[in-house]
Amino acid sequence: MTNVISFQGEPGAYSHQACVEMYPDMEALPCNTFEGAVAAVKEGRAELAMLPVENSTYGRVADIHHLLPETGLHIIGEHFVRVHINLMVVPGTKLEQVKHAMSHTVLLGQCRSFLKEHSIAPRTGVDTAGSAKQVADDGNPEMGALASELAGSIYGLETLAENIEDNQHNTTRFLVMSPEPKRPTGENLMTTFVFQVRNIPAALYKAMGGFATNGVNMVKLESYMVDGSFTATQFYADIEGHPGEPAVDRALEELGYFTTHLDILGVYPRAEFRKSVS
């Protein structure tokens, strides 16, 4: 289906916010799981999928790095969402009436100072937008929701306090997945790939040497086990630049000498957000 982008979560989730910010003219399709968001694209019910991969406070999103190489989809873009957390209630509720606040456990941990200051007890919900929906459905003034402004507008909640997160730089990075790769040219491009090194001494050190000697900036490198094996380790990497650039081509060629598997997941424009934090 054209002009539809899938995401995991209820309407109003931060993934939904990422869809609205990056593709305001596309219809956002909520899915129960990350796998469901991917399946929507592969089955033709959505044109793109928006998947979170990492958070500046909590690190990588569980299972995403395992999922990405298996999707058969390609990364065509990235987007960063500044995670602003708001306390929202049924209309007409006063702050002193709120005794509990519901949200995903990660968000609850980001608002400890505010909750403690106002003697509000945390309550764990399935997710952020789902918590907002439940608070709206229940209509109980003693229960608030911690979620995005988008969630509040969708479910008709009133915002009592804005930007109450303890960590003022909390940001989530999302990747946009497509059935077809795009090969943009020019500057300010990123390339994401996964690889497995050969089982030889200093394999990773040697594999990385080509990026250093060719001046290719690797902005992310993470490892994770494959199929539960303690010996088969897969690495996920982001670099600045793209295949076709001589320096990148030389680095990838050298990487190939020391790997058993190399899969480029996507080449895509670098988000404007990176410029603001560089």
Hey, is 269 helix, strand or coil?
Answer: strand
**Structure tokens of 276?**
């603001």
CB 68 within 8 A of CB 263: no
Question: Catalytic site residue 174?
Answer: yes
Which CATH architecture best describes the domain 86-161?
Answer: 3-Layer(aba) Sandwich (3.40)
**pLDDT (average), residues 195-208:** 86
Identity (one letter) of the amino acid at 217? N
User: Among the options 71, 128, 172, 191, which is catalytic?
Assistant: 172
User: Among the options 80, 174, 193, 195, which is catalytic?
Assistant: 174
pLDDT score recorded for residue 270: 93
* DSSP letter string, 63-124: THHHHGGGS--EEEEEEEEE---EEEESTT--GGG--EEEE-HHHHTT-HHHHHHTT-EEEE
Question: Catalytic site residue 191?
Answer: no
CB 146 within 8 A of CB 42: no
pLDDT per residue as tens digits for the range 161-200? 999 998 888 899 999 999 999 878 778 999 999 998 887 8
Domain 4-82+172-178 indexed as CATH 3.40.190.10: yes
Sequence ranges of the domains in the chain: 4-82+172-178, 86-161, 189-277
Say yes or no to pLDDT of 112 above 80: yes
Say yes or no to pLDDT of 65 above 90: no
How far, in Å, CA of 28 to CA of 44, rounded?
Answer: 14
Query: 0.85 exceeded by the pTM?
Result: yes
How far, in Å, CA of 205 to CA of 174, rounded?
Answer: 29
How far, in Å, CA of 107 to CA of 102, rounded?
Answer: 9
pLDDT per residue as tens digits for the range 12-55? 999 999 999 999 999 999 999 999 999 999 999 999 999 999 88
- In 3D space, the residue among 5, 10, 77 whose CA is nearest the CA of residue 38 turns out to be 5
Which CATH architecture best describes the domain 189-277?
Answer: 2-Layer Sandwich (3.30)
Do the domains 86-161 and 189-277 sit in the same CATH topology, yes or no?
A: no
**pLDDT (average), residues 249-267:** 93
